[in-house]
Amino acid sequence: MEDNFDLLQSAYDPETFRRRGYELVDLLANYLGATLNGKDPKTLRWQLPEEQYRQWSEDAENGPHTDPGELFGGVLAGSVHLHNPCYMGHQISPPAPVAALAGLLGDFLNNGMGVYEMGAPSTAIERVVVRETARRMGLASSADGVLTSGGSLANLTALLTARSVKGGAEVWQHGHRQPLALLVSEEAHYCVDRAVRIMGWGEDGIIKVPVDAHYRMRTDLLEGFLQSARSASKKVIAVVGSAGSTSTGSFDDLEAIGDFCQKHGLWFHVDGAHGAAAALSDRYRHLVRGIDRADSVVMDFHKMLVTPSVTTALVYREGNHSYATFSQKGQYLWSSDEEAEWFNLAKRTFECTKLMLSVRAYSIIRTHGWEFFQQYVTRVIDLGRQLGAMVLAHPALELAVPPEGNIVCFRFRSPQLEEPERSLLNERIRQCLLEDGTFYVVQTRLKGENWLRTTLTNPFTTATHLEELLERVVELASTKVPAKG
Ligand SMILES: *Cc1c(COP(=O)(O)O)cnc(C)c1O
């Protein structure tokens, strides 16, 4: 028996762990320094999927390798560098170093969070973080909620709560007796559509309200859509507002949606996965005016609050509603199933086992204060608006919509260029940027046409970086424009 134990003993050797840990932190600290000060200018070292796969399958075939440092270094080298000020791509943000350390702590302790004793500090911290988040959104002290694994899951969870509260209590027991539906803007994140279909409401259960020229929900159309749904014997139970939308970062008028929901007794859900964080900025809180009237709000800490992915707050105006989400018996877990026990978190989340999410978010709050979030959110929205103004002033570039937040969509244009050539050209510009690694931006389709899409998410991006991006786009366009005729 003894001779089969050596691997286990060496794997858990405290001194080996200490050494590797220091090496990893050195690696990351060096990366952070080099990428922030421009010594390592690449946001990404592009490799085709097959090349990448060949490299790692060879690595696996030749293993095991005793030094994890090569693995850590290799993953670092091949990954997108969010801490690089020229990273302006997807909505996730460069994690605050302290929050990444908190993530390591959570990974190491691995308490499962389902019941109180499996994560006593992180369970209590979760309550602190969620309640304080709710307070800062302007919600009353009855507000409460949970942290969960991502905005998509949080939106589904909130809509299940809405169904329990507004859809008739029998649904959980007997399924749907009447077709249910909700109203949402056509620009909403696709996870809302998925949530509706997962709940079994089908295509007819999601009523998509058109948007205005700024990609905001046409709230003036809500009344008409509600009446025609009712004429078709659908039971509309909720309206989902986007704060902001994923493609263009447009903020729906939450006050108007709140009025509408109040008038008709509907559940008011705000998908603020991206932009609810604006509530933490004195300068930009107005973007989410009305959020305090929502029955439920989703906010991703990994998007505009520099926390490692995925860490999402799901807040309810009436905290007790969260216990209605899963009207399911789980007595083997909870000593008293009927009681609303805030400290047994799995009563209110999809997750049974969950990461120790609260420690990551709280490590930032405790170390740097909420003022840190205010500075971050204000800074990246300032940057978004600055880029918007620069594009607007540029003769060869065009803005999809004046940015309200830190998402900016633009494209190269010229009078001779028409669709679909213009879309193809912008797609190629984006591919060149990806492959040369200078700037990381993504793309989106709006009304069937391609746009370059940026999310200003690195607070160390400056006006000079923005100017260089625009120059580079124009330069690529002029070298890649297909000859006419
Ligand atoms: C990103 C996003 C989501 C999805 O959140 P995940 O955390 O990626 O699951 C949902 N809604 C909006 C508006 C988003 O921007």
Q: How far is the CA of 249 from the centre of ligand 1 (A)?
A: 11
* Residue 166 confidence (pLDDT) above 90: yes
Q: How far is the CA of 86 from the centre of ligand 1 (A)?
A: 22
Confidence (pLDDT) at 327: 74
What confidence tens digit (pLDDT) does each residue in 200-231 have? 999 999 999 999 999 999 999 999 999 999 99
Distances (CA, A) of 261 to 163, 167, 275, 314: 15, 15, 21, 19
Confidence (pLDDT) at 467: 98
What confidence tens digit (pLDDT) does each residue in 45-72 have? 999 999 999 999 999 999 899 999 999 9
Considering the chain, what percentage of its residues have pLDDT values greater than 90?
Answer: 90
* 347 CB near ligand 1 (under 6 Å): no
Which of 149, 211, 274, 455 maximizes ligand 1 atoms within 8 Å of its Cβ, making it the mutation to test the pocket? 274
Closest-CA residue to 345 (of 133, 131, 127, 105): 127
State both tokens at 47.
């490799």
Nearest CA to ligand 1 atom 5: 151
Closest-CA residue to 437 (of 92, 90, 86, 91): 86
Which of 246, 357, 442 maximizes ligand 1 atoms within 8 Å of its Cβ, making it the mutation to test the pocket? 246
Atom of ligand 1 minimally distant from the CA of 154? 9
pLDDT-wise least confident of 76-80, 329-333, 361-365, 478-482: 329-333
d(CA 438, CA 157): 39
> CA angle, corner 76, sides to 70 and 80, nearest 5?
155
On the 0-12 / 13-18 / 19+ scale of CB atoms within 10 A, 184 is buried
Give the residue-averaged pLDDT of 149-173.
92
Confidence (pLDDT) at 1: 53
What confidence tens digit (pLDDT) does each residue in 329-355 have? 544 555 555 667 899 999 999 999 999
Atom of ligand 1 minimally distant from the CA of 191? 10
* 242 CB near ligand 1 (under 6 Å): yes
Name the phi and psi angles at 112, rounded to 5: -85, -15
Confidence of residue 293 (pLDDT cuts 50, 70, 90): very high
Confidence (pLDDT) at 338: 61
Confidence (pLDDT) at 334: 54
What confidence tens digit (pLDDT) does each residue in 400-454 have? 999 999 999 999 998 999 999 999 999 999 999 999 999 999 999 999 999 999 9
* 191 CB near ligand 1 (under 6 Å): yes
* 273 CB near ligand 1 (under 6 Å): yes
Q: How far is the CA of 272 from the centre of ligand 1 (A)?
A: 8
Confidence of residue 484 (pLDDT cuts 50, 70, 90): very low
* 311 CB near ligand 1 (under 6 Å): no
Q: Which amino acid is at 368?
A: H
d(CA 189, CA 192): 6
* 246 CB near ligand 1 (under 6 Å): yes
* 91 CB near ligand 1 (under 6 Å): yes
Is pLDDT larger for residue 261 or for residue 336?
Answer: 261
Confidence (pLDDT) at 339: 67
Q: At which residue do the structure tokens 């389709």 appear? A: 445
* Residue 374 confidence (pLDDT) above 90: yes
* Residue 94 confidence (pLDDT) above 70: yes
Q: How far is the CA of 70 from the centre of ligand 1 (A)?
A: 33
d(CA 158, CA 164): 10
Average per-residue pLDDT for the chain:
94
Confidence (pLDDT) at 177: 87
d(CA 121, CA 197): 37
Closest-CA residue to 241 (of 285, 284, 183): 183
d(CA 216, CA 255): 13
Name the phi and psi angles at 284, rounded to 5: -115, 10
Cis peptide bond prior to 94, omega within 30° of 0 = no
Confidence (pLDDT) at 479: 84
d(CA 32, CA 41): 12
